Amino acid sequence: MNQQGVRWTAEQVLDLAPDAASRKAGSRLGTAGPWSETGGSGAGAVWGLCKGSGSRPYATVVDTSGPAYKCSCPSRKFPCKHALGLLLLWAGDEGTVPDAEAPGWAEEWLAGRRTRERRQEDRAADGERSPRAADPEAARRRAERRAARISAGAAELEQRLADLLRGGLAAAERSGYGPWEETAARMVDAQAPGLAARVRELGAIPGSGQGWPVRLLEESALVHLLDRAWLGIDRLPESLAATVRTRVGLTAPAEGPAVRDDWLVLAQYDSSDARLTTRRIWLYGRGTGRTALLLSFGAAGRAPQLALPPGLTIDAEIVPHAGAGQLRAELREQFGAPVPVESPPPGGSTEDALAAYGTALGDDPWLESWPVTLTDVIPVPSDDGWQLADAGGPQALPIAPTAPSRAGLWRLVALSGGGPVTVFGECGHRGFAPLAAWSAGSPETVTLT
């Protein structure tokens, strides 16, 4: 450990890249050649000037405690290739990024970040609220109007499902995707984006392969259950009612008590559609034993700004969202620079994983998967793909065909070499999606996304 704290690995840096092109371009800038006036501070800041095509170099500074980035280049990606290259240089060779005092241009940005953080802390301490939220009566009326629109949308969707069953599931393949998209648009008009997303998923099932009528019936039943839960939400326990609100698309601020812990960053991966890029970051609290999910969003084709490299531990506060079985939380204040993970999180067998997912379904019937850590499992091939088998027993979990990265599967197989490993991932009705792994006796996190 030096004055700047423990330096990241190259893999942890590249995990921050918003896309493959940025990863490749950043790697080319991870050498000393294009850089000058590089340096770093004990507070976790790294800076440098990168020679570009113009006469003036690009001024790049990174606050690794965030992480947060600032570069004078015109790129709209976060982090840009210059920030990635600077971090790779910092990670690879201490001599090229020496301890130093920040130059004026870097210190100006760092000081601005510190000032904004203090203001946010002051506002939180004073309990300030926006003028719009300060009028509870106006907020109540807005909520009632939206609830009425969602109820009308849910009733219309119930009629659509009834028509589907009355006409027979086979008719869904003949009619094509158009009617589903039209129904989804009506749910958007009803301000129920969660219902709209589920309708689009229903529309993608007909003709999607062997057994699609069964899948369509199963997913239609879950949508029907959500419709009925919303229409009878006043009779539900509050924790389940909060889950239903979230599932139909009503967002609520994180208002639970803040939880401070040493949070292990287990995994980070993005998923995209035509409208949005969603980043999921999984954390595990070493002291509390709590698992938390951070979500960050970006417009289609744009990487979300929040990024935490897997394999690090951050001393931070998170604030959880409400809802039965909800793991989502908001990241608040961080204390100090991240440090490497000392050991993987505790876990259990494949049977324990299934039991945990089953328990979570009791709180949230619409849950796609549940985060679990498997210990002493071995990846083995099967007739239908791959599975994770308990080293000391006959049970095994199939690896989901929808796992985020096929390349990650081969990385997992290579890491195991036929021996037991520890694997973190998401266990759901389609199988287990591995996201990170650790070999026996090693604290190094191997990302599988």
Which structure tokens are listed for 42?
A: 């004990």
pLDDT at residue 3 tops 80: no
**Residue 154: per-residue pLDDT:** 96
117 versus 331: which is more confidently predicted? 331
- Angle between helix 81-92 and 20-28 (nearest 10): 50
SS3 label, residue 300 = coil
Query: Other CB atoms closer than 10 Å to residue 58's CB: what's the count?
Result: 24
Residue 102's φ and ψ, nearest 5 degrees, are -65, 135
SS3 label, residue 387 = strand
Identify the helix (H) or strand (E) that includes residue 296.
strand 291-299
Tens digit of each residue's pLDDT (9 = 90 or more) over 170-188: 888 888 889 999 999 999 9
- Say what the alpha-carbon torsion angle 314, 319, 324, 327 is, to the nearest 10 degrees: -20
Tens digit of each residue's pLDDT (9 = 90 or more) over 281-339: 999 999 999 999 999 888 766 778 888 989 999 999 999 987 655 799 999 988 878 88
- Specify whether the CB–CB gap between 239 and 363 falls below 8 A: yes
The one-letter amino acid at 333: E
Confidence label for 96 from pLDDT (cuts 50, 70 and 90) = confident
Tens digit of each residue's pLDDT (9 = 90 or more) over 336-349: 788 889 999 999 99
**For the chain, what is the mean pLDDT?**
89
Tens digit of each residue's pLDDT (9 = 90 or more) over 197-256: 999 999 999 988 889 999 999 999 999 999 999 999 999 998 899 899 999 998 777 877
Q: What pTM, to 2 d.p., does this model score? A: 0.78
- What b/e string do you get for 247-264 counting C-beta neighbours within 10 Å, with b at 16 or more? bbbbeeeeeeeebebbbb
Place of tokens 């996201």: 435
- Specify whether the CB–CB gap between 263 and 284 falls below 8 A: yes
Tens digit of each residue's pLDDT (9 = 90 or more) over 30-66: 998 999 999 998 778 999 999 988 889 999 999 988 7
Which structure tokens are listed for 284?
A: 């595990």
SS3 label, residue 201 = helix
Label the pairing between strands 421-428 and 431-439: antiparallel
Tens digit of each residue's pLDDT (9 = 90 or more) over 398-426: 999 877 667 889 999 999 999 999 999 99
